[in-house]
Each structure stands twice: as C-alpha cells, then as structure tokens.
Amino acid sequence: MKDKISKIVSLAKRRGFIFPSSEIYGGFESSYDFGPLGVEMKRNLKQLWWSEMIKNHDDIVGLDAAILMNPKVWQASGHLTAGFADTLVECKECHKRFKKEEIKNGSCPECGGKITKPRRFNLMMKTFAGPVQEKAATTYLRAETCQGIYMNFENVLNSARMKLPFGICQIGKAFRNEINPKNFIFRTREFEQMEMQWFCHPKTADKWFEFWKKERIRWYKDLGMKKENLRSKEIPAKERAHYAKKQVDIEYRFPFASPAGRRGWGEIEGIHNRGDWDLSNHSKHSGKDLRYFDEETKEKYFPHIIETSIGVERSIFAFLIDSYQEIKGGRTKTTKSTKEVEILLKLDKRIAPIKVAILPLIRNKPELVKIAKEVYKMLKPHFVCQYDEVGSIGRRYRRQDEVGTILCLTCDFQTLEDNTLTIRDRDTMKQKRVKIKDLVKALKEQLEN
C-alpha cells in the first residue's frame, strides 16, 4: 500500500500535478508547488466547494480576509497560549522529535533510543511587519482562515443585512509550524483551507451541527469518493481542539498510518461546534460587543458557531488516491497480451484537470494536423483542453487516461471526408462520431451529465 503513495508522488511530478518546492536547491521541507495539471485540479475543487456553499445554500456569503492581522487576534483566540500547541518528545540518541501520540512503547520509533519528557511547542508562524526588524511589530501568519471571518462578523452582518442563522465562507492560505510535517501533501507548513462559519442561535447549534455533518459527507460522496474510504468520527473531549465543544472529523482511509496511530484513517475535514468561544473572547479582548440583537424577540446573545474546515491539498491527495487505478494487462486488445500496466485516474468529471484532449490520428499527415489544431483552437475558450500529436494513438489515449482526461477527440481519415471526428469516453472507452460543427454542444452535454 505504501507503494501506492510513491507511485502517486511520482505520477504527480512526472505529469505536472505537484512538484517539490525549490527542488534545484534540494527542496524545502514540506513545501510543494502545484504544476499545470495540479493547479487546474485545485481550482476545480475550490470552485466546486465555493459553488456548493454560495449557490446551493441560502444565507451564505463569501469573504477574503488578509493573512496578516493584529496579533491581539491570536491572543484572544487562544492560539498564542497552550491551546494551539503540540506535545512533543525528543529522542536522546537521534534527536528527532515526535508527537507524543506517535510513541508506542516508550522509545524512539526510528532508532529505538530513549526519549525525553514531553514538552509543548506552539504552532504559530511568527513574522515581522515593518522594515526594521527590531522595531517592527511581531505578528503571525494566520493558522486558520476563520479568525478573519470572526473579525468581519459585524461588517458582514451589517453590510449584507444578514439575519441569523447565516454563514460566511472563505478560501485561503493558512500556516502552521508543524513539527512533524509528513506524508507528501498530507501535512505541510503552508496549506490552503476552505472554511465556512455558520452563526446560529445557541439552542439550534446541535441541530445545525448534525445538518452540516451530513451535508459535508454528502459532498465527498457526490464527487465520487468511495464510501468505504470515507467515514466520520466523533472526537472525544480530551483530543478536541481547544475551541471545540463538539468535533466530528471526516476521515479518509489513506494508505499510511495516521498520526494518532489510527491505521490508515486521516482527517480531511473537521466539523466543529465552537460555541461562543470566538465571539465572546474577541468581545472581551477588544471591548467591542459582538453580541447579536434579534429585532423580533429583542434577545441579545453571542451566536454559536458551527465550522466546517477542509484542507485543500489534503482533500486533493485523498481524491488522487481514491481515483488511482492500475489495470494489469491494460484495457485494450493491443495491450492485453503484453505485461503492460495501464494507469487510470478516474477523477470526477468536475475535478479532472483536463476535460478534452485533441489528437490527430497520425502526425505526418498535414491535413489531419491542420484540422486537429483548428478544433483545438475552437474548443479552447470553452474547455480546459490539451493537444497531443506525439506517439501512437493508443499511447496517447493511455497518457490521457493516466491524468484523468474525460474525453479524447481523434481526427482520422474520415474527418477529411465528412468533417466528423470521434469522441472517446475515458471510462467506457466507447467512441462515437460527431460533426465538428456540433462539437461544443455535444461536449457540453457529455461533460455536464
């Protein structure tokens, strides 16, 4: 199974999904860059989440808050105190550090050496705002995007004339000085979050918690994530984040041991009932009354917050793993007799980075190449497309299957006679002929249904 991860890491680099950062300098621990295909996939996922929140639910609005904030925010939120820290131990022999929960039999998991007593390390990333470091204000790169939402609770409430219950959603970078970043893009120091904060009356918080839990699990299933690899897990009080009254993690079955030793299962999204922790603490620290006034009931209270929080990269990793298939002997007659292993990335149509590939049957027939390039030019404004003329047609189909391209169009000799071409479906490998003039409509239908 571990092998599967290295295959995906290698595919991600070879085909331009994910590269190690600053590779020519030997990389930079836990930093990754998204290549041409990765960035499309990432944008698709973010767009899908955004539409889900904004279009499919009433009373959710968006926000894009700054990464750098007044450091008092982090004081009030509890992130600068013991709340946001990992308990670590160090090996006295090899000096590697581990989270306390990673130690199974009292010794170093790597070299078996003796370990130190646990110590707490804060995860906030410190930086300086201002040109002269000594005089500059110390501030922090945000550790979660939601604090920007709480800072704007009143602004949004008043400007967008919202009434409880309502939600604010945001997508953006977050930074954590993780002591033990690992497992490719599963745990990194810089990552992106998609967070929605739902503000509601305290008495309705439990009901909304259940609602959002179901909604969020449905989203993954709807995007094709296999049921058996997905589960929700209620987190007991002693393991919860410092702000959470109730916490359910949506977990994916990763092919590696999870940090807490729960073999395979790792969190991709957290659903938290944050109670009034954030708004009441920010009221106390800032002196600004952030309570909500209900015009109808004349009641004044701190709304309770239900949060849904996903890591973009972590969910991309889960989708890559979930869709990766190896087919021994291949899927076609030409490969069946060989020992070839075909790779198929069966990503949902909406997540797949390339929707359409345009392939001339052979490249040494200028008329075919000319038509194929014209088709490519015609389709480019409508779909994310790729033109490929290198290698045999079978190889090119496989190259596209390997990155999850939904449809392959082939211009062949019949194209020269009747202006039709074939559309090949990634999953069924069935082909049908379509007139070039009807192509945009036909592709839209196939990609949207």
Cα 169 from Cα 194, distance rounded (Å): 7
Contact yes or no for 44/351 (Cβ under 8 A) = yes
DSSP 3-state of 428: coil
According to CB under 6 A, which one of 269, 278, 322, 348 is a site residue for ligand ATP? 269
Cβ-in-10-Å burial (0-12, 13-18, 19+) of 428 comes to exposed
Q: Which of 52, 90, 178, 278 binds ligand ATP (CB under 6 A)?
A: 178
| Least distance from ligand ATP to the Cβ atom of residue 236, Å | 14
The binder of ligand ATP chosen from 275, 303, 311, 360 (CB under 6 A): 311
The stretch near ligand ATP (CB under 6 A) out of 304-312, 319-327, 393-401, 430-438 is 304-312
**From the CB of 29, what's the least distance to ligand ATP, in Å?**
12
**172 binds ligand ATP, rule: CB under 6 A:** no
- Binding residue (CB under 6 A) for ligand ATP from 74, 140, 150, 191: 191
Return all residues near 226 (Cβ < 8 A) that are at least 6 apart: 322
Q: 268 or 371, CB closer to ligand ATP? A: 268
Question: Is the peptide bond prior to 165 cis by the omega test (within 30 degrees of 0)?
Answer: yes
Q: Looking at residue 116, what DSSP letter applies?
A: -
Q: Rounded to whole angstroms, what are the CA distances from 206 to 133, 203, 249, 255?
A: 46, 7, 16, 33
98 binds ligand ATP (CB under 6 A): no
Strands 230-234 and 292-294: unpaired
Q: What stretches of 142-290 adopt beta strand conformation (E)? A: 166-175, 190-200, 230-234, 246-257, 263-275
Which residue among 213, 282, 314, 355 contacts ligand ATP (CB under 6 A)? Answer: 314
Residue 55 contacts by C-beta under 8 Å, 6 or more apart in sequence?
none
Q: Which is nearer to ligand ATP, 176 or 399 (CB)?
A: 176
Among the listed ranges 133-141, 202-210, 305-313, 389-397, the one in contact with ligand ATP (CB under 6 A) is 305-313
- Smallest distance from ligand ATP to CB 141, Å: 12
Among 197, 309, 323, 405, binds ligand ATP (CB under 6 A): 309
Minimum CB distance to ligand ATP smaller for 351 or for 439: 351
Nearest to 75, CA basis, from 152, 143, 173, 155:
143
Q: Quick one: which segment of 108-116, 266-274, 329-337, 371-379 binds ligand ATP (CB under 6 A)?
A: 266-274
Q: Which stretch binds ligand ATP (CB under 6 A): 53-61, 201-209, 306-314, 352-360?
A: 306-314
Q: Which of 262, 232, 276, 254 is nearest to 321 (CA)?
A: 254
Question: Does residue 313 touch ligand ATP according to CB under 6 A?
Answer: yes
Contacts of 208 (CB under 8 A, 6+ apart): 165, 198, 200, 306
d(CA 139, CA 125): 8
Coil, strand or helix at 138: strand
Smallest distance, ligand ATP to C-beta of residue 220, A? 12
- Tokens representing residue 240 in the block: 């919860």
309/420 with CB nearer ligand ATP: 309
Residue with the CB atom nearest ligand ATP in the bound state: 311
- In the list 15, 42, 142, 176, the residue contacting ligand ATP (rule: CB under 6 A) is 176
Q: Is 310 in the site for ligand ATP (CB under 6 A)?
A: yes
Q: How far is the CB of 65 from ligand ATP (least distance, A)?
A: 17
DSSP structure class, residue 104: S
Pick 171 or 408: Cβ nearer ligand ATP: 171
Asked if residue 187 binds ligand ATP (CB under 6 A), the reply is yes
Q: Does 267 bind ligand ATP (CB under 6 A)?
A: yes
The residue to which tokens 């009292």 are assigned: 106
Among the residue ranges 184-192, 211-219, 396-404, 412-420, the one whose residues contact ligand ATP (CB under 6 A): 184-192
Give start and end residues of each alpha helix (H) in 223-311.
277-286
Residue 188 interacts with ligand ATP (CB under 6 A): yes or no? yes
388 binds ligand ATP (CB under 6 A): no
Give phi and psi for 394, each to the nearest 5. -60, -45
Classify 299 as helix, strand or coil: strand
**Element of type H or E holding 13:** helix 2-14
Is 310 or 385 the residue whose CB approaches ligand ATP more closely?
310
Residue closest to 262 by CA, chosen among 253, 271, 250:
253
183 binds ligand ATP (CB under 6 A): no
Please say which residue, 250 or 384, places its beta carbon nearer to ligand ATP. Answer: 250
Interface size with ligand ATP, residues (CB under 6 A) = 16
Which residues sit at the interface with ligand ATP, rule CB under 6 A?
176, 178, 187-188, 191, 193, 241, 267-270, 309-311, 313-314
